[in-house]
A and B are shown apart, each in its own frame.
Chain A
Amino acid sequence: MISISGLCKNFRTGDHAVAALQTIDLEVGRGEFFVLLGPSGSGKTTLLRSVAGLEKPDEGEISLNGKMVYSRSRRISAAPEEREIGMVFQSYAIWPHLTVAENIGLVLTHGRSRMSKKNAMERIRHSLELVQLENFEDRPARLLSGGQQQRVALARALAVNPALLLMDEPLSNLDARLREEVRANIKKLAKQLGSTVLYVTHDQVEAMVLADRIAVMTHGKILQIGNPFELYRNPANALVAEFFGSINWIRGIMVDANHAKTECGVLCIDDARRCDGAVIVGIRPEDIRLERPSNADENRIEGRVMSSTFLGDQVIAEVKINERTLIAKAAPDDGKPEGIMSVHLPKSKLVVFPDRAEQQSPLDQRIEG
């Protein structure tokens, strides 16, 4: 459905160029809900806008629905109005001088389809029904609330029957409760209509709830593409692991294929990735087991509980092993963790990455600190 290869884009700010996209390759299948996830400045919006034709890349090719819409080498660059897309903007971009019906009607009667007023009316009603805004036709758009504007924007994007639906952080201007509601509705609509969706967000929960597949981006590059489970359980590198939920890092050196000598003692490791030399070993807080002191066993280390915080459904504990402090989540029924405890780091849950300085610039401080 979307096929992107070798896409590059540089932005010029003053004298120096910033690489917004660095050789992006991406395939999105028909009917797929695909999320671009990354922190601000990662290039995800630039990628989306390049697909929409609102940004002109410097290199590479984009084809939509089997039709080439951008190709540097073949000098193709279709205007936005020539691409079969619908789009929901972060600011919704609801035209304030028109009514709700006119907002949708304008793209039907004067857009790609040029349908008659009568047919358009039918379609307007239908798309407003989809977003549950019946009887809002004659309302001036600028008098709507944020959530309603968001829904009109969605109705407008759906009304043109787009081959591809683009969404640029459509939920970021809504309050938390409304966000969950609209999120669920978007997911339901997308499945019901079988739309192909390209969706940009910086919120990993949003991405996991909505996506069939996610591409994690930073600094204009795609770090990993996969479904939510893969990205959480099997991150390709430390940055992806950091981006999805919290994780503890332990520095160490591999002594053989399955054992690392770390700050927390020797750990047995089951990660399929083969690393040697200096490594960082990661484990998510909920995977750490705090047990009563017992015989030292595989990956069971003595640690001192420095503090513990009761949060209702879980207990967050800070456990100190030698000089390294780990965060652990425990079930509240197991009693309050305190004193010296045996810390179990299940080997199947350990991930390991080479300890390369350039890859961990964001992590280093945390490890050192």
Chain B
Amino acid sequence: MAALIPVLALLLLVFWMAFWQNGPGEPIVYTLNHYRNIFTDSFTYKTFLNTVGFAATAVIVSLLFSVPTAWLVERTDLPGKNLIFMLVTLGALLPTFFTAMGWVFLLHPRIGIVNRFVVDLFGLNQAPFNIASIIGMGWVEGLGLSSIAFIMVVATYRTMDPSLEEAARVHGLGIFRTLLYVTLPLTFPGIIAASIYVFTIALSAFEVPAIIGMSNKIFTFSTFIFYKIQPLEELPNYGIAGAVSTVLIVLALLLSWSYFGVLRFSHRYAVVTGKAYRPRLIELGPKGWILAWSFLGCYFIVAKLLPFLLLIWAALLRYFQPPSWAALSQVSLNNFYGLPWSLLLQGAWNTLILMIAVPTLTLLICMAISWTVLRSGLRWRLLFDAAAFLPHAVPHLILAIATMFATLFLLHNAFSLYGSLTILIFVYTVSRISFATRIINNSLAQIHPELEEAALVGGLKLLQVMRKILVPLLKPALVYAWIWMALLCYRELTMASVLVTSQNNVTLPMVVWGLWLGGSLNQAAAANLVVLAFMLPAVLLYFIFGRRSRVSETV
């Protein structure tokens, strides 16, 4: 239970924060002014429209990839399916701030090479593409979230009884009609659920709007909140941040609630047949394979490879310019030599500590939660389940802000946590509770309670039962969850951007982010590549120990 108190406390803190008249540290006077301000300010409505437009674009872009690909993987004889899963997993691990920077180099109206090329070619006055727009940012976010959407849509196809489609085929409906009248209507609730899920994430997404939008004065809710607590010119305004956060939390909770509603609806269609055979795979033939792989190839090149190549190119140049012979002669490794290496090493050390401490702590807590929910028979056990879900519904940026608020103004007399690594460990752990509980819940539900009861009857104490029976049985899930969370810790920028305030607790993504905000884009690109290189061993570990077809549990 103790594990869940911080979550609820942090939420209440946000609500409370929104009613403070003055800055913290001064006598507390309560007011409704902040709410009045945000609801009367036209900027709020503009930001709201921006945010919704951004999230909606992200949903559409991610579905455009995930629905056809999921169908290809689950229902056709397309070769190379393992490769698709591997690429998708890699895509999900690639930090979003990384691809966002790549896209700036590609499509920024001033420096983006595609724009420069098209302008020169056709003699245009204006750049045709603008990544620093709501549509542009939604596009980048959508490509980033398409992996998650794919994994969710694949799950919908998997839980659908394949004989529903076979029944259509044997009674005379062709491939296309079967798709239209049976497959699509049946997978529709699942696709809607995936859309809501992606929409919720995009609604509070921070990295893409921060990297692309903030410097161009295009705000979404998350960057707006961030701007209010770390403004460049004025004093931080926690009250406004709190008020906006409250609105965002309410939106996110509403969406999560409807997500579960739709999910329940889609489960009504799901049938577990227990039949051993795979559904009949539609034969695409070599022509179809080429077509399908061209589609997939285009996606992977556009979504992952191109931004990556652009970053490499940018990292090798002093000033960014499109590839040309002249530019080629200026290629050097100077950006790498010039990097703040001592800061990077400090960041690497801190990140390493986070990657080990956070997954371990989270798993310990979540084992306790899962066991309580599924096995204890306590009266309020379902409350635990709901509370464990909260960190998922609440935007991580807001969790971080509430924590900072707490350490800065409420706990500063007792502990000096502000700017420490401990505070990062705390927030990261809280934010991963939902993910880990879900995975452990799923695995624990498959272990028959009698296995534990047998040990209890045999005279083992409860803790021994956990250690000797449960942990070994849950080991594959635990290993998988541990590595996956370590990787997420590694790429975490959102929460760090609020809580990293000194060299003491700097993390690797923050070094990149600092360089980017400081305007040294090419150095940031170089730093990004270094950060990615540091990440490789961990990714390798994941593919060796953690994968095992468990990709489908990441959502």
Contact = CB atoms under 8 A, between A and B. Distances in A.
Interface of A: 45-46, 49, 52-55, 79-81, 83, 85-87, 89-91, 93, 95-97, 106-107, 110-113, 142, 153, 156-157, 160, 166
Nearest to A156: B171
Contacts, number: 92
A81 B181 contact: no
B163 A107 contact: no
Nearest to B274: A91
A19 B277 CA distance: 14
B268 interface: yes
A79 B186 contact: no
A96 B186 contact: yes
B79 interface: no
6 contacts: A54-B170, A80-B170, A110-B173, A110-B177, A111-B173, A142-B268
A86 B273 CA distance: 21
B269 A87 contact: no
Given A45-B277, A86-B171, A106-B181, A97 B186 contact: yes
B185 A53 contact: no
A97 B171 CA distance: 18
Interface of B: 161, 163-164, 166-175, 177, 181-182, 185-186, 268-269, 271, 273, 275, 277, 280
Nearest to B174: A81
B534 to A, nearest CB: 36
A93 B166 contact: yes
A52 B170 CA distance: 7
Contact of A97 (B168, B173, B175, B185): B185
A363 B427 CA distance: 64
Contacts of B275: 90-91
Listed from nearest, the 7 A-B pairs whose CB atoms lie closest are: A111-B172, A112-B172, A107-B171, A93-B167, A80-B169, A93-B163, A89-B163
Contact of B168 (A49, A53, A91, A107): A107
B226 to A, nearest CB: 44
Contacts of A89: 163, 166-167
Nearest to B186: A97
A46 B161 CA distance: 17
A52 B174 CA distance: 14
Contacts of A55: 277, 280
A113 B268 CA distance: 31
A367 B40 CA distance: 90
Contacts of A106: 168, 173, 181-182
Contacts of A86: 170-171
B172 A113 contact: yes
Given A89-B163, A91-B273, A97-B269, 13 more contacts: A53-B170, A79-B169, A81-B169, A81-B174, A89-B166, A90-B163, A90-B275, A93-B161, A95-B186, A110-B173, A110-B177, A111-B171, A111-B172
Contacts of B168: 95, 106-107
Contacts of A97: 185-186, 269
Nearest to B282: A79
A95 B185 CA distance: 10
Contacts of A112: 171-172
A83 B164 CA distance: 18
B161 A91 contact: yes
B173 A107 contact: yes
A176 B167 CA distance: 26
Contacts of A157: 171
Contacts of B175: 79
B170 A91 contact: no
Nearest to A86: B171
B172 A81 contact: yes
B172 to A, nearest CB: 3
B268 A107 contact: no
Given A89-B163, A91-B163, A96-B268, A54 B186 contact: no
A91 B171 contact: no
A311 to B, nearest CB: 34
A212 to B, nearest CB: 23
